[in-house]
Structures are given as C-alpha cells and as structure tokens.
Amino acid sequence: MSLSKAINILVIGSGGREHAIVEKCLQSPLAAKVIAAPGNGGIVGRVPCFPVAAEAIEELVKLAVEQAIELVIVGPEVPLSMGLADALRARGIAAFGPGRDGAQLESSKAFCKDFFARHGIPTAAYATFTDVNAALEYLDSHPAPIVVKASGLAAGKGVIMAETDAEARAAVHAMLEEDAFGDSGKEVVIEEWLRGEEASIHAITSGQDVILLPASQDHKRVGEGDTGPNTGGMGAYAPAPAVDTAIMETIQREVIEPTLRGLKEDGIDFRGILYAGIMLTANGPKMLEYNVRFGDPETQVLLPLIESDLVPVLYAAALGEPLPRPFRLRDDHSAMVVVLSAEGYPGSYRQGDAIEFPDSVPDSVRILHAGTRRNISDHILTCGGRVLGVSAIAPSLSRAAALAYETADQICFEGKYLRRDIGHRALR
C-alpha cells in the first residue's frame, strides 16, 4: 500500500536524532501533523511537544490515541526494549521500531552474540557468563588484550577494553560481584579484541524488505585524536570512504541478509532500524553489535543524504510492507555533524547556560538541538551533556566540514566544547 494521504506523526525522544527526524518529517507533504514527546528546546520551536517521558509507555500510547496519530517513530532504545512498539501495535497504531523481542538485539549483548552465532554472522569469538568463577576461569585460558562487556543496556559505558589480565579480572569482579552496572552487568560477554577501523551501516527494514543507508562513522571518544572517555558521540560523517562498494556488498551478503533470514527463523517481526556496528578487520567485516534505532549523531548526517520522502518509507516499514522504490540518495554529497557539548561531559557537566545563535545559517547547514530547553522568556538554555549538533551537507566532505565548523564557531555558550577533528580518518 503506498501512502495516498498525509498522516499524523508522533516522534518519541529528546535528542539531536529526534530533532533531525522531526525536520525530515516537516519536509514531507505526506506529514499532516507532526508532534513530539518529550522533545527539547529546538523541537518545541518547530512542532507541538508534549511533556511525556520516552519511558512512560502507557502515557505515550494514550497520547498517540488522543492525537489521532497514525505513525509513531521511536528514537531511543529504552522504550523499544520496554515494549512501546508492541503496545502501540496492540492499539492499531503503526510504530517504526522493533517490538521487545527484536529490541533484545541491542538490550542484551548475550542475546545478540548468540543470534550472530546461530545465524552464521561474522563476529568476535566470545563466551557469556553469569558466574564469576566461570568467567575468571575463561580469562585464565584467554589472556588480555580482551573485551569485557555488561550484557544489558549501559548507555555505551558497559564495555571494558582490557589491555591487561588484571583489568579484565577487575571488570569481571566489578560487573558480576560489585554490581557496577546494576542489572545490566549481571551477565557479561567476554570477547576477542578486534583490530581495524569501525563503521556503521543503518538498514531500514520492514522485516521482509530492506534499504541500506550510506556507511557512517562516529567519534565516540571525547578528545581529539579519539582519546579520552567514551561519549554518546561527538560527531559523525557519511558516507564513510572506509566502506567501499565491495565492502558494502560483503556486509549486505554476510551480515544484513543473514540477519533478516535469522529474524524470520526466530519468529521476530522486525520493523525499524538495524544499525550494524562493524569492525573492518584484515579478515573482513565483523559485527561488533546491533543497535535497533537510528544512531545519534549519525542520523544528523544520514537523513540529509536522503533525497526521497522518508515518511512513506518509515510508514511502510512500520506496517511490515514492501518499501517504496525508487529510494534516492544524494549520492554526490557528503555530510558531517559536529557536536557541541557542555563543559564536563561525559562526566557531570554545566547546565543552565544561555545559548546565542547566529542570525542566519546557510541552507545546507542545520543546527539541531539535543540538551537544550526553552525558559519562560523563550531563551534557549543548555540542559544536557550533548547540547547541539551542527550538521552540514556539501559536494565534498571537506566542504561540509568547513560549513559545519563555521556555524559551530558562531554559536556561543559558557563552557562550550567541541572536537576540531571530526572526520579526520576520511579527510587525512
């Protein structure tokens, strides 16, 4: 069924990803009404926002019913893992995002690794443990360097890259005995440390059909040269030249297609994003992990590269139908997003600082809000670790970078921090 009339859309979440999704929906003639919950200081300037938390499943369903919503686009992973998509579908509302069963690919690393093993998808050698002695015994026969992961959701913080045996053992003790990651760390995955360059592939799927978006790379570390602690992502760019056509074909054949077959075999009706985190090793691409939603900040570079109307694509995916074709990308363009964060992030950070914006920005540049809010006098204040993302699109990545940094430099708030080297692997 192709979309013959405009639909009402609810976007769930409050980050730069959701702001980018809202902007994309607003460009569509097939979006009748767009609303968000809970939104942020930028989204609220664009569409009506409702103060319902992304984890308040029943209230979100109620909001969708009351607002006559026909498509809910779920941004973050937590509501998906709590069954938001299932609850919406049970009320006859189309939801873009997997149900609780599919969301396990992200919410349980142990589930995800077993899925890879069951369906022959290349990944690091691994074992999973809930018993501390069994885990320590495994480490005796698998010396460092090795990777120890909390199996559950840990906002990107549950991965310990252990350079020494002592670090690996300490991580096992911390997770299985000392509750360092709460329930998320009650089960651990210990796996081979893979070497290579990382890239991500986002696939939009309806279960039966799939569309691959351009490869992207994000910068997870807070410091320049990819140093310092992990963050949610300090910037991203696409397409990532590290993934050439041949590698993309290998990923499609060895990762994406077996994943779709595997989901079917396992009886999981997956409608949403498969975001494959991949290590490009000397022995070919190997899966690090799946996320089950759009990446943040990757979305801020992927959506501007899509020329086709995204609304009918997400709606068809949400209904489990064939995806509308042709699907057009801006093949001759590159995009970059530079994240502006608050002093202290990813530790505890400054908040409540007023933000000054440039009077105008070029058409090819978008300022996307993440941790911002509007006060009663309509000033925009910082209220999160990642505050804003400046996204730009241009015929070359170097031009996109120049445009993004030019605008990023014109935005002022106390404690503003940004990395100057986003895209360095592709630009060097």
Which CB sits closer to ligand AMP, 86 or 191? 191
Is residue 288 at the binding interface for ligand AMP, with CB under 6 A as the rule?
A: yes
Residues 202-231 that bind ligand AMP (CB under 6 A): 220
Smallest gap, in angstroms, from Cβ of residue 296 to ligand GLY? Answer: 5
Q: How many residues bind ligand GLY (CB under 6 A)?
A: 7
Q: Among residues 281, 214, 278, which one has the least CA distance to residue 241?
A: 214
Is residue 78 at the binding interface for ligand AMP, with CB under 6 A as the rule?
A: no
Q: Which of 38, 99, 152, 233 binds ligand GLY (CB under 6 A)?
A: 233
Q: What CA–CA distances, in Å, run from 142 to 23, 125, 139, 158?
A: 48, 11, 5, 20
Which CB sits closer to ligand GLY, 160 or 273? 273
Residues 203-222 that bind ligand GLY (CB under 6 A): 218
Is residue 103 at the binding interface for ligand AMP, with CB under 6 A as the rule?
A: no
Is residue 258 at the binding interface for ligand GLY, with CB under 6 A as the rule?
A: no
Q: Among residues 224, 228, 213, 217, which one has the least CA distance to residue 279?
A: 217
CA gyration radius, the chain: 21
Q: Which residues of 174-192 are buried (b: 16+ CB within 10 A; e: fewer)?
A: bbbeeebbeebbebbbbbe
Is residue 193 at the binding interface for ligand AMP, with CB under 6 A as the rule?
A: yes
The entry of ligand GLY, ligand AMP, none that residue 191 binds, CB within 5 to 8 Å by partner kind: ligand AMP
Q: Burial of 195 by CB count in 10 Å (0-12 exposed, 13-18 middle, 19+ buried)?
A: exposed
Is residue 18 at the binding interface for ligand GLY, with CB under 6 A as the rule?
A: no
Smallest gap, in angstroms, from Cβ of residue 401 to ligand AMP? Answer: 22
| Cβ atoms of residues 83 and 102 within 8 Å | no
CA distance linking residue 211 with residue 196, whole number of Å: 26
CA distance linking residue 326 with residue 60, whole number of Å: 33
CA distance linking residue 249 with residue 185, whole number of Å: 35
The two beta strands, 7-13 and 71-74, are parallel
Strand partners, 95: 72
Which CB sits closer to ligand GLY, 70 or 296? 296
Q: Which of 77, 289, 298, 309 binds ligand AMP (CB under 6 A)?
A: 289
Phi, psi dihedral angles at 137 (to 5 degrees): -60, -40
The entry of ligand GLY, ligand AMP, none that residue 295 binds, CB within 5 to 8 Å by partner kind: ligand GLY
Is residue 16 at the binding interface for ligand GLY, with CB under 6 A as the rule?
A: no
* DSSP-derived 3-state class of residue 104: helix
Q: Which stretch binds ligand AMP (CB under 6 A): 95-103, 174-182, 193-201, 396-404?
A: 193-201
Is residue 346 at the binding interface for ligand GLY, with CB under 6 A as the rule?
A: no
Is residue 106 at the binding interface for ligand GLY, with CB under 6 A as the rule?
A: no
Is residue 277 at the binding interface for ligand AMP, with CB under 6 A as the rule?
A: yes
CA distance linking residue 336 with residue 392, whole number of Å: 6
Is residue 353 at the binding interface for ligand AMP, with CB under 6 A as the rule?
A: no
Phi, psi dihedral angles at 122 (to 5 degrees): -60, 130
Beta-carbon-side half-sphere exposure of residue 107 (alpha carbons within 13 Å)? 16
Which CB sits closer to ligand AMP, 16 or 295? 295
| Cβ atoms of residues 240 and 199 within 8 Å | yes
Q: Which stretch binds ligand AMP (CB under 6 A): 175-183, 186-194, 301-309, 354-362?
A: 186-194
Q: Which of 28, 40, 206, 291 binds ligand GLY (CB under 6 A)?
A: 291
Please give the residue ranges that form the binding site for ligand AMP (CB under 6 A).
Answer: 124, 147, 149, 156, 159, 191-194, 198, 220, 277, 288-289
Please give the residue ranges that form the binding site for ligand GLY (CB under 6 A).
Answer: 218, 232-233, 291, 295-296, 298
